[in-house]
Amino acid sequence: MRIGHINVKVMDMAAALQHYEKVLGMKTVHTDADGNAYLKCWDEWDKYSLILTETDQAGLNHVAYKVEKETDLDELQQRIEASGTATEMLPEGTMPFTGRLLKFNLPSGHEMRLYATKECVGTDVGSTNPDPWPDDIKGAGVHWLDHCLLMCELNPAAGINKVAESTDFMMNVLDFNMAERVMVGPNGDIPAATWLFRTSTPHDIAFVGGERMGLHHFAFFLNDWSAILKSADVMAKNKVKIDVAPTRHGITRGETIYFFDPSGNRNETFAGLGYMAQPDRPVITWTEDQLWRGIFFHSGEESGSFTTAYT
């Protein structure tokens, strides 16, 4: 149905909590016996969407997507294993407040989990005669975890294209749809990046080619351009390292800021529907010569290490 949560590694839990609570406006809802912190945005109704795990390096542990019914997990397990990918069904309670989890690795190597059940606690404004926002919002006041972008190994000369393999898996096995893609190479026939969706927004997950697999960023939704500018002010006040100042994407048409948490994990605040993504919408293709216009529509120019720095 949608992205459910992301589990990222941080090197300083206290600094990470300060960042995600004070800058982004999330709330810590649980800390488990291993010290993992579970956080929630104000406009989410499930128990949590972000898990922080303290380690000696940054990066991704796993990303999880929510399915509609428990029986979907059994059906999807059969489909995934039939595709040649090994799975493991983790029992209820493996993660707090969550039912069974179907665990597997994407062709890119990233760990993904699917689940159907997580404790529903409601949004911070409730479901009866709600206000448009709660009174105790902090920082940028992000609404919800929106999407993630995963870096995949891409080396056409060696015959390696994990972008294409992961895209095919998501579309053919998990029934994702493609909204946009970047095609490169002498004949313009090598997929270097794809944006895929299950909801009605331009992407719930994206894959981009690089030297190695990793986490490029995970993004939180804001309403509009003014909210994006406010989030930039919040970051400046808190001396957050901003990677890309407020701008617009050509790809997805989203309004954006990219910045880093204290461990170096790239975050994004992302605003605007962009367009309505539907399965019958024609796929948008960006050519190699217009790549940077697609990424940063205003300047059309490469921004530092945007495609090479990731965890």
Q: Burial code of 292-303, b = ≥16 C-beta within 10 A, e = fewer?
A: bbbbbeeeeeee
Which residue in the list 19, 110, 216, 249 is annotated as catalytic?
249
| Whole-number pLDDT of residue 302 | 84
Domain 2-115 has CATH 3.90.1150.10: no
Question: What is the mean predicted confidence (pLDDT) over 272-288?
Answer: 93
For the question of residue 75 being annotated catalytic, the response is no
Catalytic residue (one of 38, 48, 258, 310): 258
pTM of the model: 0.96
Domain boundaries, the chain: 2-115, 145-295
Residue 310 has pLDDT above 90, yes or no: yes
106-149 per-position pLDDT tens digit: 999 999 999 999 999 999 999 999 999 999 999 999 999 999 99
Long-range contacts for 242-246 (Cβ within 8 Å, ≥24 apart)?
243/303, 243/304, 243/306, 244/296, 244/303, 244/306
What is the mean pLDDT of the segment spanning 72-96?
98
Across 223-273, where does the E strand assignment appear? Answer: 242-248, 255-260, 266-271
Catalytic residue among 65, 147, 153, 216: 147
143 is known as an active-site residue: no
Contact between 250 and 297 (Cβ < 8 Å):
yes
Residue 274: the pLDDT is 83
- Measured CA to CA, the distance from residue 130 to residue 168 in angstroms comes to 41
Among 206, 207, 295, residue whose Cα is nearest residue 256: 295
Express as a percent the part of the chain with pLDDT over 90: 95
| Residue 203 annotated in active site | yes
Whether the pLDDT of residue 272 is over 90: the answer is no
- Topology match between the domains 2-115 and 145-295: yes
State residue 221's pLDDT score: 97
Predicted pLDDT of residue 273: 77
Please write the tens of the pLDDT for every residue from 32-45: 999 999 999 999 99
pLDDT value at residue 308:
86
CATH of domain 145-295: 3.10.180.10
Contact, 294 vs 208, CB < 8 A?
no
What average pLDDT does the chain have? 96
Catalytic residue among 5, 217, 255, 310: 217
Q: Is the pLDDT of residue 261 over 90?
A: yes
Q: Which of 62, 110, 143, 203 is catalytic?
A: 203
Model pLDDT for residues 142-156, shown as the tens digit of each residue: 999 999 999 999 999
pLDDT in the model for residue 173: 98
For 288-308, write each residue's pLDDT tens digit: 999 999 999 988 888 778 888
Active-site annotation holds for 147: yes
Q: What is the pLDDT of residue 66?
A: 98
12, 263 contact by CB (below 8 A)? yes
Strands (E), the chain: 2-10, 27-31, 37-40, 50-54, 59-66, 87-90, 101-105, 111-115, 145-155, 160-161, 177-184, 190-197, 205-210, 214-222, 242-248, 255-260, 266-271, 284-287
Q: Rounded to 10 degrees, what is the CA torsion of 101, 94, 143, 303? A: -80
